[in-house]
Amino acid sequence: MEAFEKKALESTTLKPKCWYRCVDDTFIIWPHGRNTAADFLVYISGIHPYIQFTMEVEKNAVLPFLDVLIERTQGGTLGHRVYRKPTHTDRYLNAESHHHLAQKQGIINTLIHRTRIISEPRHLAEELEHLGTDLRGNGYTARNIEPSIRRHTPMKKWEYSATTYLP
């Protein structure tokens, strides 16, 4: 794919402002207008018969990419938060399952860490509240959730309501 990308980007007259790829998903910023974006899609899909691209464009100033919802702010910058597909069920390993406690705690820690690294500060409290609700729905209690939130998100940086996470 690197050789393909290099060839495609070197040989086109209109170039994306940025091009980021993760396996088979590519995020680009196209500064040349929507009409030419469609032309670029046709161009890169025509380079190799077995490499075809599809395109999603932002709608209502947002675009999902992997687990991230990218938002265009009013100031023209890009913001980000956790993205969940419409088919996401909010189901995780249930707290009552017969798994080792470390595995269950690992679920909590991983989800909190994911929330913290994906969400920008202005969305963090809302995402942690969503996560607390999800985890409670999977049988976890405030005693399981709150210490991990405090450990991974120091209070001096982020404020959240502990009462939000009570079972």
| Residues 25-79 pLDDT 10s | 999 999 999 889 999 999 999 999 999 999 999 999 999 999 999 999 888 899 9
Q: Does the pLDDT of residue 119 top 90, yes or no?
A: yes
**Whole-angstrom Cα distance, residue 2 to residue 50?**
15
Exposure class string for 53-63: b at 16+ Cβ within 10 A, else e: eeeeeeeeeeb
Which residues pair with residue 22 across a beta bridge? Answer: 25
How confident is the model over 7-29, as a mean pLDDT? 93
Q: What is the distance in angstroms between the CA of the first residue and the CA of the last residue of the chain?
A: 48
Pairing of strands 68-72, 18-22: unpaired
What pLDDT is attached to residue 76?
A: 84
Domain ranges within the chain, ordered by starting residue: 2-57, 82-165
Residues 35 and 49 sit within 8 Å (Cβ to Cβ): no
**In this structure, what DSSP letter does residue 120 have?**
-
pLDDT band at 138 (very low <50, low <70, confident <90, very high): very high
**Whole-angstrom Cα distance, residue 88 to residue 85?**
5
What pLDDT is attached to residue 35?
A: 87
pLDDT band at 152 (very low <50, low <70, confident <90, very high): confident
Q: Angle at CA 140, nearest 5°, toward 137 and 145?
A: 115
